[in-house]
Structure 1
């Protein structure tokens, strides 16, 4: 076994776990879930059946990732963040009978490469979080988030842009559609409400 599982974690035997991944105490990895290499699954985190997680992903303590979520490489999911999966959540049918697994359609949260979801944020499926986007702590995401967007609030709204370093971008003087990362110096162009990395 080339991954580590703490004694109180539960990993279903049908799950696929990549090399170098660590699963901490009280975490639960369900049937047919797939985790890439180099991941860290924090204490009490939950990964639902069939969830797909890329390489070098961090799920912090008590993060809840419900099926059929898909997380790209390098994604960060903060403490107690929740990725939902039910568009119309109800425990019972209109007639009062308890709903079972086949009585509703699970929908996905998709998180692009390098994106980060802050502590206690909630992504209400179906929704896509773009590459390298940053969702602020406590935000509730109800619509798609563009690549490199910084979103905050309830419901979440774009309040700026971030680069790959996660630092808020600043507008270049005299260039209204040009943004720069104050940490790395990387440049980005804004076009039609989207941000594009310059080569």
Structure 2
């Protein structure tokens, strides 16, 4: 018995593992070998390639392809029409389409990627980081960083809940949820729950 919902136009290949409570919407395709956690939402026209790992509570909006080599940890948000790549030097005349050619991309727990952003393969987006709409991420993004632009540059820091943090003497408290953070050079760590 299936414990997830797939719209009648969606295709979930035999051999795909889809968690309880997950919803796969119109015209989406989940390939054999893909693993999707519980309570996820895959919007219209989402493609999940073989061997992709998607954690619990992930939301993938319309028109997103999650290619082989991409790992989405728990509670990641992928905005509409954002793009993952998986080959650094693609060429039509010189196909690089085997698992050995793919550069791994990891999006850590709670990170958000805005609409129409592009994530170049081989990077890690840190825990609870925030990638602005339209950004092009071509290098690692630290945990809790807010990045924007082409190429993406850090503009500031964000709380786990998504609000901007204001640091004083290397410390910050989220104005909305009360979580506490500490900054050391170019890294931020959470020191206390709100």
Shared fold per TM-score greater than 0.5: yes
Question: Given the alignment of the two structures, is residue 155 of structure 1 paired with residue 156 of structure 2, yes or no?
Answer: no
2:11 maps to 10
Cα distance in structure 1, aligned partners of 2:96 and 2:162: 41
Gaps of 5+ in 2: none
Gaps of 5+ in 1: 94-98
**By how many angstroms is 1:53 displaced?**
0.3
TM-score computed with the length of structure 2 as normaliser: 0.95
Of residues 170, 177, 186, the one that matches 1:184 is 177
Structure number with greater Rg is 1
**By how many angstroms is 1:111 displaced?**
0.3
Question: CA distance change for structure 1 residues 3 and 178 in 2, over 3 Å: closer, same or farther?
Answer: same
TM-score computed with the length of structure 1 as normaliser: 0.92
Cα distance in structure 1, aligned partners of 2:126 and 2:80: 20
2:162 maps to 166
Runs in 1 of length 4+ with deviation above 3 angstroms? 100-104
Cα distance in structure 1, aligned partners of 2:25 and 2:181: 38
1:142 maps to 138
Root-mean-square deviation (Å): 1.3
Question: Given the alignment of the two structures, is residue 105 of structure 1 paired with residue 98 of structure 2, yes or no?
Answer: no
**By how many angstroms is 1:26 displaced?**
0.5
2:93 maps to 92
**By how many angstroms is 1:192 displaced?**
2.3
**By how many angstroms is 1:102 displaced?**
3.8
Question: Given the alignment of the two structures, is residue 121 of structure 1 paired with residue 124 of structure 2, yes or no?
Answer: no
Question: CA distance change for structure 1 residues 48 and 187 in 2, over 3 Å: closer, same or farther?
Answer: same
Instruction: Verify the 8 A CA contact 1:27 1:42 in the aligned structure 2.
Output: yes
2:103 alignment partner, SS class: coil
1:63 maps to 64
Question: CA distance change for structure 1 residues 103 and 7 in 2, over 3 Å: closer, same or farther?
Answer: closer
Deviations 1:52-86 (A, max 9, x none): 00000000011121111101000000000111100
Instruction: Verify the 8 A CA contact 1:178 1:190 in the aligned structure 2.
Output: yes
